């Protein structure tokens, strides 16, 4: 089904390779206002990390008609400064695809300067879902997984995708309006 979404979310390899987070993300998509994309570079990287018994991401992509965007061209990669080298092709493709968010298990690999320069946020999956509390209910403390040190970094509010006022906000994932709205 074609997406009517407004907010484009670029899915990193570590999320694509993890069956449960990936399934939650894609099943929730029609209920949200985001569309999901990834590049073939990311898909290849995800398949390298998949367990042998798992269905390859490329098979899932074809089966469910997941949207692929072009890999990053070198101009996008060479323009990046404080993102880990390994993740520059990821962020470069997300920028070229005009994504607002990169959903990833490793927010810390994405540089605050690069995210600010290109107007994106890198978001850990549970943090992205804070934006959809009305669908999923209030967050409950996760006793089984240790939360990441950095669940969010960037300049886009995870709820409304507006630019955050503090351009360097590395941990403030909601704008003032949304923060007031989601307060319990
Ligand atoms: Zn907001």
Distance 60 CA to ligand 1 centre (A): 32
- Among 55-59, 73-77, 89-93, whose mean pLDDT is lowest? 73-77
Q: What pLDDT score does 178 carry?
A: 84
Q: What pLDDT score does 1 carry?
A: 45
Distance 10 CA to ligand 1 centre (A): 19
pTM of the model: 0.86
Pick the residue with more confidence: 59 or 157? 59
Domains of the chain: residue spans and CATH: 7-181 (3.40.50.1010)
Q: What pLDDT score does 136 carry?
A: 61
Pick the residue with more confidence: 108 or 127? 108
Distance 47 CA to ligand 1 centre (A): 34
Tens of pLDDT, residues 68-79? 999 999 988 999
Question: Per-residue DSSP letters for 43-99?
Answer: HHHHHHHS-TTSPPHHHHHHHHT-EEEPPPPHHHHHT--SS-GGGHHHHHHHHHTT-
Distance 40 CA to ligand 1 centre (A): 31
List of residues 6+ apart from 72 with CB closer than 8 A? 39, 41, 88, 89, 90, 91, 92, 93, 95, 96
Distance 104 CA to ligand 1 centre (A): 20
Distance 101 CA to ligand 1 centre (A): 13
* Sheet with 152-154, edge to edge strand ranges: 67-69, 34-39, 7-11, 101-103, 121-123, 152-154
Going 49 to 50 to 52 to 56, the CA torsion angle's sign is: negative
């Amino acid at each position: 089904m074609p997406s009517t979404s407004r907010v484009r979310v670029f899915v990193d390899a570590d999320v694509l390779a993890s069956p449960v987070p990936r399934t939650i993300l894609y099943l929730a998509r029609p209920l949200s206002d985001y569309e999901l994309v990834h590049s073939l570079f990311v898909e290849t990287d995800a398949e390298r990390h998949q367990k042998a018994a798992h269905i390859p991401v490329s098979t899932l992509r074809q089966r469910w008609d997941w949207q692929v965007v072009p890999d990053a061209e070198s101009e996008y990669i060479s323009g990046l400064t404080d993102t880990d080298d390994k993740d520059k092709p990821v962020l470069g493709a997300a920028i070229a695809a005009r994504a607002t968010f990169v959903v990833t298990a490793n927010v810390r690999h994405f540089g605050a300067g690069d995210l600010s320069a290109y107007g994106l946020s890198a978001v850990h999956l549970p943090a992205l879902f804070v934006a959809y509390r009305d669908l999923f209910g209030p967050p409950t403390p996760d006793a089984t997984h240790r939360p990441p040190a950095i669940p969010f970094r960037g300049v886009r509010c995870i709820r409304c995708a507006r630019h955050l006022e503090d351009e360097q906000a590395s941990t403030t994932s909601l704008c003032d309006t949304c923060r007031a709205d989601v307060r319990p």
